Amino acid sequence: MDPEFAPLPAPFSLVAGGPLFQLLRRSHLSDNSLHLLQRRVICITLIAWLPLLVLAVAEGRALPGSVDVPFLLDIEAQVRFLVVLPLLIAAEWLAHRRMSLWIAQFTERGLVPPAGMQQFQHAIASAMRWRNSVAVELALLAVVVLAGASLVPHHFAADEGTTWRQADGGLSAAGLWLRAVAMPLVQFLILRWYFRLAVWTRFLWQVSRIDLDLLPTHPDGAGGLGFLAALLDGFAAVIVAHATLLSARIAQQIFYAEATLPEFVPEIGLLTALVMLVFLGPLMLFVPQLARTQRVGLAQYGSLASRYVREFDLKWVHGRTDPGEPLVGSADIQSLADLAGSYDIVRGMRVALVSTTSVLRLLLYTLVPFLPLLLTMMPLDELLKSLVKLLL
C-alpha cells in the first residue's frame, strides 16, 4: 500500500481510554466502541440521583410544603442529575463515533505526505497517551473531592430559606450524599471533558505544524480539510450540557430569588463566547497553511491559465489552426471552461475552516436550552405571536 494513504493503526478516539473507561468496561457498562450507552446512562444517573430522592423522601424534604425548596422542585438539582449528567455521558459516544470516522480522513485523503507520516503518527500516539493517563484522571478526581465538594452550597442558587439539603444548621443525609458523591461525579465528568478538549486542541496544533498536502481545487473549498468542521457536531452534547446547566441555574434564581432573565444576559453571552473560542479556535490553527495553499494555487493555476489561453488565442483567434478543424464541438472550448472553473475554485477557497454554518450550528447548540426561560417573561401565546411576526 502507498505509504501516503496508509491507514491509522487504530480508530482515533478522545474518549475510549483512561481509568474510568476501563472501569466501565470491567463493569459491563461499556465496550471498546462505547456501546451499551443506555445501560451506562441509567446506572450512573441512578447512582447520583436515586439516593438523593430516597433520602429526601425519608427525611420529609422531597415534596412541597416540607421546606422552602423541596428536592423534587429544585430545578437545578433535577436538571443537573437527570439531564446534564446523561448528556455528558452520551457526549462520549457521540464524539467517539465522529472522531473515529473523520480523523481517518487525514490519511484516506492523502493529506499527510510520506515525509510527515511519522510526525502525524506521533501526534496521534501523544494524544492517546494523554487520554489514557492514570495520573491525570486521579488529579482531576483529587481536585473534585478536595476542592469541588466543599463548594456544594455555592453551586445552587436557592440559598435563602430552608432547602432539602439542610438539617439542623448542617447538611441533611441527602445533602451529604450530594456533597460526597453526586456533585463530585458531575464535576469530575465536566473536568474530564475540559481535559479532553485540551488534548484535542493540542492534537490539532501538532497536525497543523505538518506540511500537509492540501489541494487548492478540492471540492470542499478548504483544501481537503473541510471534514474538520463536521467534527463540531461530535461536541454538540457537551455544549448543550453546559448551556442546560446554566439555564437551570438561571431558572432557579428566577423562581426562588425573584430574579429576571435580562439580568443573566452577560452570563449567557460569556458562555456563547467561550463556546466559540473553545470549539472554533482550534480550527483557526490551519489558517496559515490554507492561506499559503490558496496563494500558491492562484499563482500556479494563473500561470497555467495564461499559457493555455495564450495558445488558445493563437490557435483560434489568430488563425494558427488547421482550416478543416471545426470550432463547434472542439475539446479546446471545454478545456478552457474547465480551467476557468478550476481557477474560480482556487479563488473561492476558504482560508479558515470556520464558516457561517459552523457558527450558526454552535449558536443553536448553545442558545436553544435558554428558550424555555423566555416563558418567564411572557405567556406562551404571546411568545408564539411574537415569533410568528418575526418570521413573517
Query: Tens digits of per-residue pLDDT, 51-98?
Result: 999 999 999 998 988 788 899 999 999 999 999 999 999 999 999 988
Low-confidence residues in the chain, pLDDT < 50: 1-9, 155-158, 327-329
Question: In the prediction, which pLDDT does 290 show?
Answer: 93
Question: In the prediction, which pLDDT does 256 show?
Answer: 86
Question: In the prediction, which pLDDT does 336 show?
Answer: 61
Query: What is the full DSSP assignment across 249-308?
Result: HHHHHHHHH---GGGGHHHHHHHHHHHHHHHHGGGGGGHHHHHHHHHHHHHHHHHHHHHH
| Distance separating the N- and C-terminal Cα atoms of the chain | 57
Question: In the prediction, which pLDDT does 3 show?
Answer: 45
Nearest Cα neighbor of 92 from 160, 144, 25, 27 is 25
Question: In the prediction, which pLDDT does 145 show?
Answer: 87
Nearest Cα neighbor of 21 from 95, 101, 131 is 131
- Grid coordinates representing 259 are 430574579
Which residue is associated with the grid cell 481517518?
Answer: 104
CA-to-CA distance for 321 and 90, rounded, in angstroms? 67
Answer yes or no: are the C-beta atoms of 20 and 133 closer than 8 Å: no
Neighbours of 154 (CB within 10 A): 8
Burial class (CB in 10 A: 0-12, 13-18, 19+), 170: exposed
Answer yes or no: are the C-beta atoms of 204 and 231 closer than 8 Å: no
Question: In the prediction, which pLDDT does 33 show?
Answer: 87
Question: In the prediction, which pLDDT does 160 show?
Answer: 60
